């Protein structure tokens, strides 16, 4: 599920379920989780208290009263389930159990999500660019970054050092809003195009942030989800009617309108 809007929504779920709670036990339920969250680390968690939950890009930071941080990344399929009992949902991978009897459970069908524990004072996520939905993400910033890079704009926007929080869907949508061909080399984009691009990205993100619940409906995605180009290969562009095309860039699908982008 997770791109920036979904992670933002999930962080709210985690915040409501965990802040103020004392960790009683951490259960690692899939061995892939041990790569990031060692047995040694999990043993030090009971007794610590959750102080805050924040989002940065597609990461979540669970701050503990001890000053340590649990850093969470959902990758492709991760999500939180707040549970009131000991019953584990399908695909439960890690359970943070609290002293009051509730728990916060990482569910992740593909088991690619990671939770890692970091010491007091560790510098985290300093490689990330400005947040896609914040003031710091500007055309001037893009201009300064693109001056020293090359390659298609689609791949540049997926790079979290350039802008934090955009994934494959919203990069495609942002470029559609901006009328920009995803294959355009970054050095070919002038100031006007960059301003339009920043506006397009914020529009795509903010539209999704306004309806974060849409990915969480049981049984799949709701009818309210109407991407303009993502996953619409062959269907008419909602703006000009030309068929939406799919190409592969960096090994991943890019959708765009061949008529108006």
Q: Does 252 bind DNA (CB under 7 A)?
A: yes
| Closest approach of DNA to the CB of residue 223, in Å | 14
Tell me, yes or no, if 58 is annotated catalytic: yes
Count of residues near DNA by CB under 7 A:
32
15, 55, 58, 245: the active-site residue: 58
Residues 167-196 that bind DNA (CB under 7 A): 167-169
Least distance in Å: CB of 183 to DNA? 11
CA angle (232, 233, 238) in 5-degree steps: 50
Asked if residues 255 and 236 have their Cβ atoms less than 8 Å apart, the reply is no
Residues 217-246 that bind DNA (CB under 7 A): 221
**DSSP of 40-73, one letter per residue?**
HHHHT-TT-BEEEEEEETTEEEEEETTS-EEEEE
Of the residues 56, 199, 203, 252, only one is catalytic, namely 252
At closest approach, how far in Å is the CB of 5 from DNA? 7
Let me know if 233 is a catalytic residue: no
Tell me whether strands 252-257 and 244-249 are parallel, antiparallel or unpaired: antiparallel
- Binding segment for DNA among 1-9, 16-24, 46-54, 116-124 (CB under 7 A)? 1-9
Q: What is the nearest approach in angstroms of DNA to the Cβ of residue 24?
A: 27
String marking each residue 54-93 x if it binds DNA according to CB under 7 A = ---xx--------------x-xx--------------x--
SS3 7: helix
**Of positions 160, 196, 228, 261, contacts DNA by CB under 7 A:** 160
218 is catalytic: no
**Distance between CA atoms of residues 158 and 169, nearest Å:** 10
Alpha helices in the chain (DSSP H): 4-18, 39-43, 139-146, 153-158, 168-177, 191-209
> Where is 103: in which H helix or E strand?
strand 103-107
Active-site annotation, residues: 2-3, 58, 252
């Amino acid at each position: 599920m997770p791109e920036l809007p979904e992670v933002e929504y999930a962080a709210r779920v985690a915040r409501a379920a965990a802040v103020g709670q004392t960790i009683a036990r951490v259960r690692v339920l899939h061995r892939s989780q041990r790569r990031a969250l060692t047995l040694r680390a999990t043993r030090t968690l009971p007794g610590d208290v959750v102080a805050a939950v924040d989002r940065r890009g597609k990461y979540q930071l669970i701050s503990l009263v001890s000053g340590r941080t649990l850093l969470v990344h959902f990758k492709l399929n991760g999500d939180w389930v707040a549970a009131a009992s000991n019953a584990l949902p399908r695909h439960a991978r890690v359970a943070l159990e609290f002293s009051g009897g509730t728990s916060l459970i990482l569910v992740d069908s593909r088991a690619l999500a990671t939770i890692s524990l970091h010491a007091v004072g560790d510098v985290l996520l300093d490689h990330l660019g400005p947040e896609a939905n914040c003031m710091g993400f500007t055309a001037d910033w893009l201009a300064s970054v693109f001056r020293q890079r090359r390659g298609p704009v689609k791949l540049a926007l997926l790079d979290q050092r350039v802008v934090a929080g955009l994934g494959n869907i919203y990069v495609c949508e942002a470029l559609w809003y901006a009328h920009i061909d995803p294959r355009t080399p970054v050095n070919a984009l002038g100031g006007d195009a960059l301003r339009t691009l920043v506006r397009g990205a914020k529009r795509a993100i903010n539209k999704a942030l306004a309806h974060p619940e849409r990915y969480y409906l049981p049984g799949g995605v709701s009818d309210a989800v109407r991407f303009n180009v993502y996953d619409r290969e062959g269907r008419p562009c909602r703006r000009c009617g030309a068929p939406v095309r799919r190409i592969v860039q960096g090994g991943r699908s890019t959708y765009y309108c061949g008529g108006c982008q």
